[in-house]
A and B are shown apart, each in its own frame.
Chain A
């Protein structure tokens, strides 16, 4: 009996050991394949050295880009980056694009220390990294993202002035009747202090004022924020336009009479927007460059707008100048 038990235990240990060995073997195998594909990338890169745009154009026709690109960072950019990655991989079957979230801070840090090829960020690298480190990164402003203040549809508030918005988010006004609405308490729903969405909203919508964090619910992601606003008719929050494409129970509020639309972003009348950045270390690998060029190219521009983001090249001079 005792021996039997011992046998069982030994068996369990052996199985566990085998698992561990198997796992590590898989690990090294995949690492090797990655290393291989990276080598291929460099050789492919050497043959096509006629500049970035031609590389991208060639990629579209022939699909010759090989290699793998790892990107991480901003959750606001994540859906678009993933969609672009999938399209790009269809045209270049030998290329693997893996996009992860993690937040802008994580993305910038990982691209700076070389653990990913592309770091996605809502903010300029200079705001989060050492000036020295930021200098080594190349900024690609792949698209713009417009933020809108959102309320529950049943509230009936369609427009707020910048002053009203500031007073609401700083906790000065606590009832909708003081902002042209019904007699209902205001429920603030915001994002964490480090959120890129919050930083943009603070800078462009409420004049840099500090939000009343001690009177606001905080949500980790924009989806939860929308759900909370859906469920509470006195609630107000802010999200990026891509989150408002499908949703109908919440409504974007115009600021000073200007609707939060892409057109108003392009012509410079609606100010609450920012660039989405893809940072590469130096120039970035050939595959990473091709992927970023594909994302910023004309072919993909339609998809960018369909998903609610803005195309950087469509910005008017006024609009671009205001966000330098």
Chain B
């Protein structure tokens, strides 16, 4: 009898907590869905209310939307911003990936003890550094350096500066994901390879890396989505010139910087403001696409295991 009451009490608290946790979870889901809907409604107005074509938005580089409520007929070609985002993110990945892979291999395969005690915490601190700090250092150190070293025409504000800053920012994400994934490769694989006379390099290259590939790709995509969404640090060093860059030392602009520059001042509900919402929607779609890719990879991996 006594036991039963204790059991009931426990079951009651269990139910209460279950309810609280479910409510929290549902709230987060609702929040996400409402943000998506909000962006979709705001962002599609460029095409439904102001009658611009999606093609113009994506592929034209003429940008002169009217910044007043009730006026229409400007140009909303965001190609420069889209190209700027793709270019800087792609370049940053090219720069960061070799370093990330090398760091991940070092801290798991070559020197696991230093890796777990020193290297890993150090990399994790990287993640916690606020992006304004990266941007500020970029602005005060990197930009003048590029100007002096390469005699950049526009004072060092350039695609290169933006790509370098982004590379530093996505390095820890890719590194930690890659390291986790390499660590989870069963030792059996390594031992088998060593048993057949492989050198350490051969083991890493031919056995460990291929086995860890899905995790590494997931890290790369997470890093990319961070790079796409980063506004502040990039805006401080990219120069925000509305033109396709001629070379790595030319300034250009990107989606996040363009949104941040005009969102507060532009007239709410005007053509310019609406076009910025469309750019925000595009960013969301890009990141959703990247996350979808992660899920596809994860799903494939599970299938392979079974």
Contact = CB atoms under 8 A, between A and B. Distances in A.
B301 interface: no
A30 interface: no
B267 A105 contact: yes
A218 B241 contact: yes
Interface in B60-107: 63-64, 67-70
A305 B265 CA distance: 26
Interface of A: 10, 13, 17, 101-106, 108-109, 127-131, 185, 187, 192-196, 210, 213-220, 224, 228, 231-232, 235
5 closest A-B pairs by beta carbon, nearest first, are A103-B264, A194-B265, A218-B240, A214-B243, A103-B265
B266 interface: yes
Interface in B232-246: 235-236, 239-243
9 contacts: A103-B264, A106-B265, A128-B68, A129-B69, A193-B67, A194-B67, A213-B63, A217-B251, A220-B260
Contact of A105 (B20, B251, B261, B268): B268
Given A213-B242, A220-B260, A105 B273 contact: yes
Given A217-B157, A217-B240, 16 more contacts: A17-B20, A103-B263, A104-B265, A105-B266, A109-B267, A127-B68, A127-B267, A128-B270, A130-B70, A193-B67, A193-B266, A194-B264, A217-B154, A217-B241, A218-B239, A220-B261
Contacts of B263: 103
A46 B9 CA distance: 59
Nearest to A110: B268
Looking at A194, A217, A219, the one whose CB has the most chain B CB atoms below 10 A away is: A194
Contacts of B229: none
Contacts of A10: 17
B155 A231 contact: yes
A106 B273 CA distance: 11
B144 A231 contact: yes
Contacts of B261: 192, 194, 218, 220
A215 B80 CA distance: 13
B272 interface: yes
B206 to A, nearest CB: 40
A200 B187 CA distance: 68
A109 B153 CA distance: 40
B237 to A, nearest CB: 11
B149 to A, nearest CB: 15
Q: Which of A105, A213, A220 has the most CB of B within 10 A?
A: A105
A193 B17 contact: no
Given A13-B17, A232-B155, A196 B242 contact: no
Contacts of A192: 240, 261-262, 265
Contacts of A106: 264-265, 268
Contacts of A193: 64, 67, 262, 266, 272
Contacts of A219: 240
A25 B260 CA distance: 33
A217 to B, nearest CB: 5
Contact of A217 (B239, B265, B273): B239
Contacts of A13: 17, 20-21
B253 interface: yes
Contacts of A131: 70
B265 A105 contact: yes
Contacts of A231: 144, 147, 155
Contacts of A218: 239-242, 253, 261
Contacts of B17: 10, 13
A127 B265 CA distance: 12
Nearest to A198: B265
A194 B266 contact: yes
Contact of B241 (A101, A195, A215): A215
Contacts of B235: 220
Contacts of A224: 139, 236
A109 B266 CA distance: 10
Given A214-B241, A214-B243, A217-B239, A187 B154 contact: yes
Contacts of B63: 213
Contacts of A220: 235, 260-261
Contacts of A185: 153
A297 B208 CA distance: 76
A74 B107 CA distance: 50
Contacts of B154: 187, 217
Contact of B69 (A103, A128, A195, A215): A128
B155 A187 contact: yes
Contacts of B273: 105
Contacts of A109: 267-268
Nearest to A210: B64
A265 to B, nearest CB: 23
A129 B70 CA distance: 8
Contacts of A105: 264-268, 273
